Structures are given as C-alpha cells and as structure tokens.
Amino acid sequence: MEYKSAYTEADVKELYKWFDEQHYDNAVELGHGIDVKDVKMLVDGSRSVALAKYDNPTYSGQIHFLFMVREALINQGKVKDSL
C-alpha cells in the first residue's frame, strides 16, 4: 500500500485481519539493512495503537511499516496456506 499521512479504520482492520488469517514466517527482510526478526511480536505490539490512532499522522509511519512487512512476506514467498 502506498504511504498515507493518515489511514482509515477499514485500512487498519483489513491489515490486521490479514495478519490474523495467514500463516507466515516470523522473520522477514525489508532491505536497506532492515530485518524484522519477530513479525508476530511487531504485529501484536502495534495493534492497540494502530487501531486507536489510525487517523493521526504521527502514527502513519508505524502503520505503513506494517503494510511494508506484509508486502515483503508476500513477495518473498513467506506466506503459507491461510487458516
């Protein structure tokens, strides 16, 4: 997803729904020296803030980062059959 200065509640709910319904590797490389070693912890740890502050530009970078993680998991073939 393209970066937005604010996201909609629907955007964020769809993102977390995807993470909840997929089986994926718990580590992913985003490039430029950015490696996420524990995707599940990242997703779970950001959920309450993202769902409460989705329309606040201060948190848009954090939400966009999760979209980048999802895209990297898909592009790197690290998503297995859904639940």
69 vs 77: CA distance, rounded Å: 12
Residue 83 lies in a domain: no
pLDDT digits (tens, 9 = 90+) for 7-55: 999 999 999 999 999 999 999 999 999 999 999 999 999 999 999 999 9
* Residue 82: inside a domain: no
Residues in the chain: 83
Q: Give kind and range of the element (H or E) at residue 61.
A: helix 60-75
The reported pTM is 0.92
Which residue range(s) make up the domain with 68? Answer: 9-75
Does 83 have pLDDT greater than 60? no
Q: Which pLDDT does position 25 carry in this prediction?
A: 96
Q: Is residue 65 part of a domain?
A: yes
Which pLDDT belongs to residue 82? 58
Quote the pLDDT of residue 1.
83
In a domain, 33, yes or no: yes
Domain membership of residue 68 (yes or no) is yes
Residue 71 domain-assigned (yes or no): yes
